[in-house]
């Protein structure tokens, strides 16, 4: 029997990986640090080495090396995930796929594209623009497509275009034993076999390493119209959204920005929006179509006490409008600069419960004396709280963590989920069990069937 | 060690099941026959008994009995699946869920409903109509929602509303060991854990028995417009479809009906449609919206050589129009009544390859002297061939089976799938391996992790 320690095994794996990758295998402290800690309050752990891979073939060889040595492997894209997804909890080699950034094919007639996992969404969109096509999933950060697939990312456009779940058609995956498989086909639908594509989407690298992604594309709409509407209450925002969806308006984006955020954005971006619970909306379609949608929406908003909306259609004006929305996080961070850090978290509930969930959370924040502006992808019932906390103050941290737990319990009690788009990573593992009960054992069984030695991003998601 | 034969084990399981279910456990020959053979050329095998279950709790108890005796279990809904899905290949007990037909909740504000697996799609739609809601997935037959989930069904509306993959939000599943799990939540999206919902959707009862389904609903559109357009060629039909999709027209239905079918429908339904390659289309939206869509579509069709289209908007006229489409299969069957039977199969390819695939298949049919009208959900690249065959004539059967194999090989070579919506069942298992290669081993590993004794619908899909 092999008596070497896990550490010795990892060292051997690193040595073999060095022989495979040369300079592209780094053990420098700064590179390792950078690859082990995200921007959140989750603990970071640096990997023992970082492999900058260039091809599926190289990933396969690296996995074979690590399988032989039982060395953990952590897939890494742009490092923008938010729940400690890439902390090297059990050490091992971080597989940085950002260098695999080739757009392999774009099929305009079929509106699909095959890309290497390291292609970023902005890179892909820049390459598609001339063909009138777009990849609409927008989690905010310029994440890689592989990372977005692994975390089941979504964002502001999901209400219209779906999440990564709906927009990934197929994958190339290197399994824990080094096998390379392809899932899905270029057909738009299939009833052939188990849906492995969607099993890997959202698995956070715990079932295999995604090296290529086949994605659906969408046509850039002929016309776009966007607007901002102030409301007297969160309820009014949510009811407007529900009625708009029920009446069949194909909302492209509908974002709730609470009054706290508006205050912060006004200060940060030198704007003078009315300080109120606010909806940012956008419509996609033909010229006549978006005009009709906007008018219909304005009527529903008015009936719910909303203010008048100045719809903008020029790209320049729309970008300005959405810049204010995108600045929200930094605007609130600036409000507390030097005192507290913000930790963004998210939950998602049935839309009929959203107003209640947001209002109760606001009340809880006020009673707990915690600054926590709320912003939401309200069409999906998904919202984020930027919870501010002084990490050097133990009592503050405890108070914040308690509030965080109540937030998730509230969402679960309403039939929702502990995370709509941030994922489980290492940060929300306790809540995964709370949410899914015995189904987590089924997830665990799948994990162990595909990765019996727990080498793929161990300690994350449903894995051990 | 237990030395009894598998048959003796099954007998013991039936005895215990009889004690559990009384009269609702049937071993009558006619009931067993009815539950073992579908309407296709796939071999049928009667189960040893049929259990008419009434609740999840009863299914759980039945599964526990069968787990103890290692007795196979085959889930059964309306019996409308098309690839030998419910043949009792290894004997065992058929679990008929059609009696579990309660609509458990309808949440109008959230546009979702939770139903027992035996609820049929027509039953659900009848219950939803008054609330202005609908469940649009329409595979033709009045299948059960549980069966539709298990086979990943779709149909004519999928181009707009997606398939069961996109419209199932959560499931209650009885696992092979009798555990009952719930997957998904009522939140519209989630990044919490592995996507078990989509793992069970399309698994054809091989990973567990679905007893409840949480489905997405959609608003009944304010206006609907439908039309029929004759084209000079299959290519013209496909190019029109591609251009319509690319230009952003939200097609609700777009069906290719080939000239052979038109001939048959004209005879069967006493109509006088021009005998040509034809598209049936439908648009959903506001009144102004569907008018705009219809006009835009008509322009694209005209540019591709299509004839003029008389759009109809009244329900009565639309129903008449779609009746002709729905009669297609029976119309062609009538053409050969008494001589040959029709066996419907389907493949799905990237839409850019659809014209080529259909034309080559028509040529192959002509050269093979096989009557095989083609009909397609052309917006998804999915088409059906009704292959006619005299089953009593061995040479005829061989010729048909060879053509069938070439049809699938052609679809796979074009980046497509061996089945867009009919499924694998027992009929397409060889092609599953051809399509997915080593990924089938990964499916198999998942199957064995969740059902180590292969009790859940053995011999189907990716299972052993």
Q: B115 pairs with which residues across the strands?
A: B103, B213
pLDDT in tens, B47-103: 999 999 999 999 999 999 999 999 999 999 999 999 999 999 999 999 999 999 999
Distance from CA of B94 to the nearest CA of A (A): 21
Q: Looking at chain A, which residue has its C-alpha nearest residue B191?
A: A423
* B223-327 and B330-424: identical CATH topology: yes
**pLDDT exceeds 90 at position B43:** no
Q: How far apart are the first and last CA of chain A?
A: 24
Q: A225 pairs with which residues across the strands?
A: A283
B162 touches chain A (CB under 8 A): yes
pLDDT at residue number B342: 85
**pLDDT exceeds 70 at position B127:** yes
**pLDDT exceeds 90 at position B341:** no
Percent of chain B whose predicted confidence (pLDDT) is above 90: 94
pLDDT in tens, B344-365: 899 999 999 999 999 999 999 9
Q: What is the CATH topology of the domain spanning A223-329?
A: Alpha-Beta Plaits (3.30.70)
The answer to whether the CB of B154 falls within 8 A of the CB of B136 is no
The answer to whether the CB of A461 falls within 8 A of the CB of A432 is yes
**pLDDT exceeds 80 at position B2:** no
Nearest by CB to residue B179, choosing from A166, A428, A438, is A438
Nearest by CB to residue B446, choosing from A111, A194, A288, is A194
B207 touches chain A (CB under 8 A): yes
Does the distance separating the beta carbons of A382 and B439 come in below 8 Å? no
Nearest by CB to residue A187, choosing from B288, B417, B428, is B417
pLDDT in tens, B107-119: 999 999 999 999 9
A452 touches chain B (CB under 8 A): no
Nearest by CB to residue A292, choosing from B188, B286, B461, is B286
Q: What is the mean pLDDT of residues B288-306?
A: 97
The answer to whether the CB of A381 falls within 8 A of the CB of A351 is yes
ipTM for the assembly = 0.97
**What is the rounded CA–CA span in Å between residue B388 and residue B399?**
11
Does the distance separating the beta carbons of A289 and B179 come in below 8 Å? no
pLDDT at residue number A1: 57
Distance from CA of B250 to the nearest CA of A (A): 10
Q: Among positive and negative, which fits the CA dihedral B146, B151, B156, B158?
A: positive
pLDDT in tens, A125-149: 999 999 999 999 999 999 999 999 9
pLDDT-based confidence at residue B343 (cuts at 50, 70, 90): confident
pLDDT in tens, B7-23: 999 999 999 999 999 99
pLDDT in tens, B426-440: 999 999 999 999 999
pLDDT-based confidence at residue A89 (cuts at 50, 70, 90): very high
Q: B209 pairs with which residues across the strands?
A: B174
pLDDT in tens, B172-222: 999 999 999 999 999 999 999 999 999 999 999 999 999 999 999 999 999
Interfacial A residues in 230-249 facing B (CB < 8 Å):
242, 245-248
B209 touches chain A (CB under 8 A): no
pLDDT at residue number A277: 97
pLDDT at residue number A42: 85
Secondary element (H or E) of residue A233:
none
Secondary element (H or E) of residue A244:
helix A234-246
Q: In what order do the strands lie in the sheet with B168-174?
A: B103-107, B112-116, B209-216, B168-174, B180-183
Does the distance separating the beta carbons of A186 and B416 come in below 8 Å? yes
Query: What six digits make up the tokens of A331?
Result: 């605007």
Does the distance separating the beta carbons of A446 and B448 come in below 8 Å? no
Q: What is the CATH topology of the domain spanning A336-436?
A: Alpha-Beta Plaits (3.30.70)
Structure letter (DSSP) for residue A414: T
> How do beta strands A374-377 and A251-257 pair?
antiparallel
DSSP output for B60-123 = HHHHHHHHHHT--EEEESSS--SSSTT--TT--EEEE-TT---EEEEETTTTEEEEETT-BHHH
Averaged pLDDT score across all residues of chain A: 96
Inter-chain contacts counted by CB atoms under 8 A, chains A and B: 295
* CATH architecture of residue range(s) B6-98: 2-Layer Sandwich (3.30)
Q: What is the mean pLDDT of residues A158-162?
A: 96
Q: What is the CATH topology of the domain spanning B223-327?
A: Alpha-Beta Plaits (3.30.70)
A422 touches chain B (CB under 8 A): yes
pLDDT-based confidence at residue B336 (cuts at 50, 70, 90): confident
pLDDT at residue number A329: 86
Nearest by CB to residue B195, choosing from A199, A348, A350, is A199
Supply angle C-alpha B99, B101, B105, rounded to 5: 155
Chain A contact set for B160 (CB, 8 A): none
Supply angle C-alpha B156, B158, B162, rounded to 5: 165
What are the residue ranges spanned by the domains of chain A?
6-96, 103-219, 223-329, 336-436
pLDDT at residue number A290: 96
A196 touches chain B (CB under 8 A): yes
Phi/psi at B240 (5° precision): -60, -45
The region that residue A145 occupies, defined by phi over 0 for left and psi between -120 and 50 for alpha, beta otherwise, is: alpha
**pLDDT exceeds 90 at position A337:** no
**pLDDT exceeds 90 at position A372:** yes
A112 touches chain B (CB under 8 A): yes
Chain A contact set for B216 (CB, 8 A): none
Q: What is the mean pLDDT of residues A195-216?
A: 98
Chain A contact set for B175 (CB, 8 A): 442
pLDDT at residue number B1: 57
pLDDT-based confidence at residue A276 (cuts at 50, 70, 90): very high
Determine what percent of chain A falls in helix, strand and coil, rounding each to the nearest 5.
40, 20, 40
pLDDT in tens, B438-447: 999 999 999 9
Could you confirm whether domain B330-424 is CATH 3.40.50.620?
no
A162 touches chain B (CB under 8 A): yes
Burial class for B272, CB neighbours closer than 10 Å (0-12, 13-18, 19+): exposed
Distance from CA of A191 to the nearest CA of B (A): 5
Residues 6+ apart with CB under 8 A from A298: A227, A229, A306, A308, A309, A311
Right CATH number for A103-219 from 3.40.50.12780, 2.60.120.10, 3.30.465.10, 3.30.2010.10?
3.30.465.10
- B interface mutation test: which of A81, A162, A189 has the most B CBs within 10 A? A189
pLDDT in tens, B255-286: 999 999 999 999 999 999 999 999 999 999 99
Chain B contact set for A436 (CB, 8 A): 181-183, 192-193
Does the distance separating the beta carbons of A181 and B437 come in below 8 Å? yes
Q: What is the CATH topology of the domain spanning A6-96?
A: 3.30.43
Averaged pLDDT score across all residues of chain B: 96
**pLDDT exceeds 60 at position B383:** yes
Secondary structure (H, E, C), A110-174? CCEEEEECCCEHHHHHHHHHHHCEECCCCCCCCCEHHHHHHCCCCCCCHHHHCCHHHHEEEEEEE
Helix (H, G, I), strand (E, B) or coil at B257: strand
Chain A contact set for B185 (CB, 8 A): 415-417, 435
Chain A contact set for B435 (CB, 8 A): 185, 192-193
A186 touches chain B (CB under 8 A): yes
């Amino acid at each position: 029997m092999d008596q070497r320690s896990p550490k010795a095994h990892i060292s051997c794996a690193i040595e073999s990986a060095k022989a495979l990758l040369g300079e592209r295998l780094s053990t420098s402290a700064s590179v390792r640090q950078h690859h082990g800690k995200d921007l959140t309050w989750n603990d970071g752990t640096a990997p023992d080495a970082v492999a900058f891979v260039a091809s599926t073939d190289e990933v396969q060889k690296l996995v074979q090396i690590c399988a032989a040595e039982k060395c953990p492997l952590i897939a890494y894209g742009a490092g923008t995930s938010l729940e400690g997804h890439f902390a090297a909890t059990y050490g091992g080699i971080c597989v940085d796929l950002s260098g695999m950034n080739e757009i392999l094919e774009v099929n305009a007639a079929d509106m699909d594209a095959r890309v290497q996992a390291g292609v970023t969404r902005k890179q892909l969109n820049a390459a598609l623009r001339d063909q009138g096509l777009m990849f609409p999933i927008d989690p905010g950060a310029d994440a890689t497509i592989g990372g977005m697939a692994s975390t089941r990312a979504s964002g502001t456009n999901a209400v219209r275009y779906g999440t990564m779940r709906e927009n990934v058609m197929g994958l190339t995956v290197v399994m824990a034993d080094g096998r390379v498989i392809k899932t899905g086909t270029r057909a738009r639908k299939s009833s052939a076999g188990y849906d492995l594509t969607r099993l890997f989407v959202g698995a956070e690298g715990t079932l295999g390493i995604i090296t290529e992604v086949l994605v659906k594309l969408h046509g850039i709409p002929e016309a776009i119209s966007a607007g901002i509407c102030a409301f007297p209450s969160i309820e009014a925002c949510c009811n407007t959204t529900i009625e708009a969806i029920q009446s069949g308006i194909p909302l492209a984006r509908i974002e709730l920005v609470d009054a706290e955020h508006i205050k912060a954005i006004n200060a940060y971006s030198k704007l003078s929006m009315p300080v109120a619970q606010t909806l940012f909306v956008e419509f996609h379609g033909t010229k006549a179509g978006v005009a009709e949608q906007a008018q219909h929406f304005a009527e529903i908003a008015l009936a719910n006490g909303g203010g008048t909306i100045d719809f903008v259609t020029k790209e320049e004006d729309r970008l300005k409008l959405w810049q204010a929305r995108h600045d929200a996080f930094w605007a609130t961070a600036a409000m507390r600069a030097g005192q507290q850090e913000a930790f963004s978290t998210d939950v998602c509930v049935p839309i009929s419960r959203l107003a209640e969930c947001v209002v109760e959370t606001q009340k809880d924040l006020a009673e707990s004396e915690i600054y926590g502006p709320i912003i939401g992808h309200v069409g999906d019932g998904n919202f984020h709280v930027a919870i501010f906390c002084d990490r050097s103050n133990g009592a503050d941290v405890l108070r914040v963590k308690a509030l965080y737990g109540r937030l998730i319990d509230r969402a679960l009690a309403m039939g929702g989920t502990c995370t709509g788009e941030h994922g489980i990573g290492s940060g929300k593992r306790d809540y995964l069990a709370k949410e899914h009960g015995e189904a987590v054992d089924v997830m665990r069984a799948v994990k162990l069937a595909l990765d019996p030695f727990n080498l793929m991003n161990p300690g994350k998601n449903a894995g051990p």
